[in-house]
Structure 1
Amino acid sequence: MRGRTAMGKDMNTPISRRNFTRLALGAAAGCAVGPALAATEEDALTSYVPDSQDQPRLLRRISGLRMRNWEDYFDNLNKDAILCDTNDRVLHYWGADGFYRVFPTSVPLTDQLTRRGRTEITLKRPEPEWRPTQNMLKRNPDLPKYVGPGPENPLGIRALNLSWPAYRIHGTNDIRKIGRQSSNGCIGLFNEHIVVVYERAQVGTPVLLI
């Protein structure tokens, strides 16, 4: 989609971040998302033009927003399923009720910080607090030792712990990170999007990072 002018359905009106968020949350409010609606949402994702809150353009930071089939990665959707694609910089969420969404994400800064493979959600944290790991402090000694819940928290407003220590799927209060290689190992989403994922996911939901 690079190089293409990003427009809304009438091909004249750009889709702002506010309208994109309204579309995303509106779809999430309904129960199941059928194929036609999923395709519409993919169009919205690929034609999304960030507004002044979110410059430079998110489109330039995302390599792919392809739709995928859950059967290629999971045996069942008994507890829903999450696929984090670190190359495309997106998170795919499939629900047992037919829900399907693709969310843009931040991904780890380097291959050395990236962990791939199968894991699962082990804890849901509605008001996450944050402490840097020892390795993070070695890389950046100026980091604060602790940040409580609130607007300055690097984990945003929700966090999902994975079975791998110190790895999470979480929100972010720095929207410049989304679509970039910008994390220390975690997968970050817009706060609006982590709320959708958080509300649907459960302890035991399988997660695959590729």
Structure 2
Amino acid sequence: MAQEIDAQEREGVRHNISSFRTVNWREHFDTLGKGAIVADTVSRALHFWSAEHETGPESYKLYPTSVPISEELTRRGYTSVIRKREAPTWTPTPSMRERDPSLPKVVPAGPLNPLGTHALYLSWQYYRIHGTHDTRKIGRRASDGCIGLYNEMIADLYPRVPVGTQVRLI
């Protein structure tokens, strides 16, 4: 264990006790643009940087997340936020309904909706960054591909993220 920690320190990788690691947007994007999100499926954290404004430099926020339940459901790479919804409805994907035909066709907004109170829709079909009413999922492999946040935290993130924000899942 000590050898592993020493090797990580030599490589510049820093972890704290909860496995969050230091991330800088410049490691993933050429420019900050409208803002940047890095969703780290290993440390189960979402890093957000707002764009610079005339009132000052960018701001940084860190949120704990749930991540996909398996590698087969985990998509990594670059995408962007293409749409935002408060009180989203949820429609199970065709593959979800194939695995579980008892799933409803649509779940309206409310406490039974797996998307929680807010959703950021990504350019990848069926992938979202969203809230969850089931707080047991945060910090765990618990989703069918999406990145989940506590409802309070997606409500905090939601107004900060403009459509067009660049996203990278690692």
TM range (shorter): 0.7 to 0.9
Structure-to-structure mapping, 1:1-210, within 5 angstroms? 64-96=19-51, 97-210=57-170
Report the count of equivalent residues.
150
How far residue 66 of structure 1 moved from its aligned partner, in angstroms, is: 1.9
- Aligned-residue Cα RMSD (Å) equals 1.4
| TM-score normalised by structure 2 residue count | 0.84
Aligned to 2:54: none
Q: Which runs of 4+ in 1 moved over 6 A?
A: none
CA distance in 1 between partners of 2:24 and 2:94 (Å): 38
Contact kept, 8 Å, 1:67 with 1:102, in 2: the verdict is no
| Larger RCO (CA under 8 A, 6+ residues apart) | 2
Q: Which runs of 5+ in 1 are unaligned?
A: 1-45, 47-58
The two structures have a TM-score, normalised by structure 1, of: 0.69
Larger helix percent: 1
> Equivalents in 2 of 1:65, 1:102: separation in Å?
10
More strand by share: 2
Q: Which runs of 5+ in 2 are unaligned?
A: 1-15, 52-56
Once the two structures are TM-superposed, the CA of residue 101 in structure 1 deviates from its matched residue by: 1.4
